[in-house]
Amino acid sequence: MRRFYADLHIHVGCARGRAVKITASRQLTVYKILYEDAPLKGLDIVGIVDVGSPLVSCEIEGLLAGGLLREVRGGGFMAANGVLLVAGCEIETCEGIHIIIYLPDIMSIHRLQHYLLSRVTNLQLSTQAARVSTLDLINLNVLVGGIICPAHVFTPHKGIYGCWTRCWKDVLGKQAAQIKVLELGLSADTDMADCIAETRQLTFLSNSDAHSSGNVGREYNLLRMAGKNFEELRLCLYKSAGRNVVANFGMDPRLGKYHRTYCRHCRRIAAEEAPVRACPVCGGNAVVMGVFDRVAEIRDSEQPIHPLGRPPYHYRVPLKDLPGVGPRTLERLHKAFPSEMYVLEQAPLERIAIVGGPTVANMICAMRKGRLRIKAGGGGYYGKVVKGDSHY
Ligand SMILES: [Zn+2]
Ligand SMILES: [Zn+2]
């Protein structure tokens, strides 16, 4: 068995010279993700979730024709530099939630596009509101041989728990059992999710949902698999045949932009005991519910109950978001070490101190120990790392 770093939720901004996802950077192309961003960050597997757009599948077919990608036995697409591309499609259902379907090959991509064609207004644009229900997507996923994964499940913005239901079985019935994987989202972690009983048997993914190069790999997963291909990924996410997720790495949930409830009127992020449903200052309910508050509202236990074999969740902050790491320090760190993940996980602190200075080394030391001081985010505003005084 081998271990691979994977970020399975990355958006393409532009394909075939045209916009794919309006909110994503136009610089973010399939080629750039595979050949620049993944190696810089240290990712072995990347999931690109816009292949519902024919612009993106054409781009992939162009890279296949040019020898920059090849289809792999077992599914998936291998870049010449060894990075595996997993094709995925993030779809907004008629319930207003985001679901990702990962697909094994070009044929399944075309079948999914064909299905969506009559159900979205503009197929070229990604994450379009589709005239399909979540149950329809569960069935479609079986037909195309995909892996289905509700995205950022707790966010008030398009998350299945955040804005639709407090119990999957209530709305999906028996079909809920078809879902074996969920994505935690930036504002949640394993401890929060394991307070909910019905997801305890599920695999948790921590992905970046990157809309720009800088955010690729801000969350990632360490996977144990025998090789890099789609079927191995399926075994891994379904915890079969000795494959599994070994660890999740992600932002401290307080850094997420929907962590606590936010009052639009007072422009204030709540710090009171969760769940906060209305603004404690003005009493109004023009609030954006926080993920932490939502979990407190729907949880089955106050403390997390981890199932046997639940991987650890390690808090990580992208280098660019650490106080004291400006563009020049970032460049020096990237030049001196093989990848950003190496700096975050393994690089000796003494070497980091030589390259980036003692303040940066102290920050990374505190991060590895989970001791960074953090101001919580909410209402679309990210949380922040506050300068502390820990020493390595
Ligand atoms: Zn989404
Ligand atoms: Zn997304």
pLDDT, tens only, 170-224:
999 999 999 999 999 998 999 999 999 999 999 999 999 999 999 999 999 999 9
Tell me the C-alpha distance between 300 and 266, whole Å. Answer: 31
- DSSP string for 269-299: E--SSSPP-S-TTT----EE--HHHHHHHH-
Cα(259) to ligand 2 centroid in Å equals 17
Using an 8 Å Cβ cutoff, are 315 and 174 in contact? no
Burial of 275 (0-12, 13-18, 19+ CB in 10 A): middle
Q: pLDDT value at position 123?
A: 85
Confidence grade of residue 391 (pLDDT, cut at 50, 70, 90)? low
* Residues facing 15 on adjacent strands: 18
pLDDT at 149 exceeding the cut of 80: yes
Of 63-67, 311-315, 336-340, 371-375, the least confident: 371-375
pLDDT at 106 exceeding the cut of 80: yes
Q: pLDDT value at position 195?
A: 97
Cα(31) to ligand 2 centroid in Å equals 19
What is the value of pTM for the model shown? Answer: 0.95
Of 35-49, 122-136, 179-193, the least confident: 122-136
Query: Residue 344: which of 375, 320, 326 has the closest Cα?
Result: 320
* Mean of pLDDT values over 116-121: 92
What are the backbone dihedrals phi and psi of residue 78, each rounded to the nearest 5 degrees, phi first?
-100, 130
Secondary-structure class of domain 2-151+209-250 per CATH: alpha beta
Q: pLDDT value at position 128?
A: 76
Cα(360) to ligand 2 centroid in Å equals 30
Ligand with smallest separation from the Cα of 97: 1
**Cα torsion through 33, 34, 40, 45, rounded to 10:** 110
pLDDT tens track for 215-264: 999 999 999 999 999 999 999 999 999 999 999 999 999 998 999 999 99
Q: pLDDT value at position 290?
A: 93
Residues, CB within 5 angstroms of ligand 1 (ion): 98, 151
pLDDT at 73 exceeding the cut of 80: yes
Ligand with smallest separation from the Cα of 23: 2
Q: pLDDT value at position 126?
A: 79
Cα separation values, 387 from 226, 320, 325, 378, Å: 41, 14, 12, 20
Cα(209) to ligand 2 centroid in Å equals 5
Amino acid letter, 246:
V
Residue given tokens 């997390």 in the structure block: 304
Name the percent of the chain lying above pLDDT 90.
88
Report the mean per-residue pLDDT for the chain.
Answer: 94
Sequence-ordered strand ranges (E) for 68-207: 69-71, 77-79, 84-92, 98-103, 147-150, 181-183, 203-205
* Mean of pLDDT values over 283-305: 94
Tell me the C-alpha distance between 202 and 191, whole Å. Answer: 14
pLDDT at 88 exceeding the cut of 60: yes
* Mean of pLDDT values over 107-134: 92
Cα(159) to ligand 1 centroid in Å equals 8
Classified as helix, coil or strand, 89 is: strand
Q: Where are the domains of the chain?
A: 2-151+209-250, 254-306+313-386
- For 110-145, letters b (16+ CB in 10 Å) and e give ebbbebbeeebeebbbbbbebebebbbbbebbeebb
Cα(186) to ligand 2 centroid in Å equals 11
